[in-house]
Amino acid sequence: MSRKTHLDVSAYSIGAVDYLGLFKATSFDISPTIVEGKAVSQRHNRGVLAKRKFTFTTDELLTATGLRQTALNLTVFSVGGTSYLGEVKSGSLKISTTVKDGSGAADEWESPVAVGTAYEIQGKLQIASTAEFMVIAGGTGTGLSVATSLALGGSTFTAPMILSKSTHTIDVDDIQGQDITLTSRGLPTVATGNSVLASIALGTSLLAFDATTGAAEYAGNAIVSEVNIQFSDGQIISASHSFACIGAPTIS
């Protein structure tokens, strides 16, 4: 008896970019809103469909010039004009879209609209000499606002940010470290490379998609609801993308 596997996926595009050789996992989800229609004279629940939405996620292996990108391809990790490329061990860049449903009461499928964007960079660093970020966090309030740049795996991101958390870690048989979180403080000045990252960061996050899985074909237009790019010492750089479909998808 045959079964469908990942080898049966024959086409997958997002925003006119061919993802067939780039992604390692994806999932498609239809979530109906079911409301209770049971009357006082009835014992058993009677669900009624009130709304539906279609979402999907894709986990991408970052690739540039035909090569998978690892932490060795991290070329910039700069905060406040100071490079921490030699101290950072792992980190992430997450960008999220604030989404509101723009469908009418009589529309069966949700139609999400992007109304805001937030981004965050996290880093886990080794301490070479001083706990610089603890000094920044404990200093003047204006000092918390820092320009931050990140370049990895063929993508570049630069933005005004604010240091929202700094933790100094000390453990036995280990190097002292700093865990930092920087959050958004205005429009990014650079967001290039990965097409999904650039789309969501700059606010034009509507992309067409088409996936032929061998078991079903899904197509439509979607809002990029979240991008999360992660890197770690000795690992391939990965990116998790989340999407919310505009209205009903085409499923065949």
The whole-angstrom separation of Cα 200 and Cα 96 is 8
Query: For residue 138, what pLDDT band results from cuts at 50, 70 and 90?
Result: confident
Asked if the model's pLDDT at residue 203 lies above 80, the reply is: no
Among the listed residues 251, 19, 206, 20, the one whose alpha carbon sits nearest the alpha carbon of residue 97 = 206
pLDDT > 70? residue 204: no
Question: Which DSSP letter does residue 249 get?
Answer: P
**Is the pLDDT reported for residue 148 higher than 80?**
yes
* Full 3-state SS string of 137-179: HCCCHHHHEEEEEEEECCEEEEEEEEEEEEEEECCCCCCCEEE
Q: Is 121's pLDDT higher than 80?
A: yes
Rounded to a whole number of angstroms, the CA Rg of the chain reads 22
Per-residue model confidence as pLDDT tens digits over 28-67: 999 999 999 999 999 999 999 999 999 999 999 988 878 9
pTM for the complete prediction?
Answer: 0.90
Distance from C-alpha of 183 to C-alpha of 80, rounded to nearest angstrom: 13
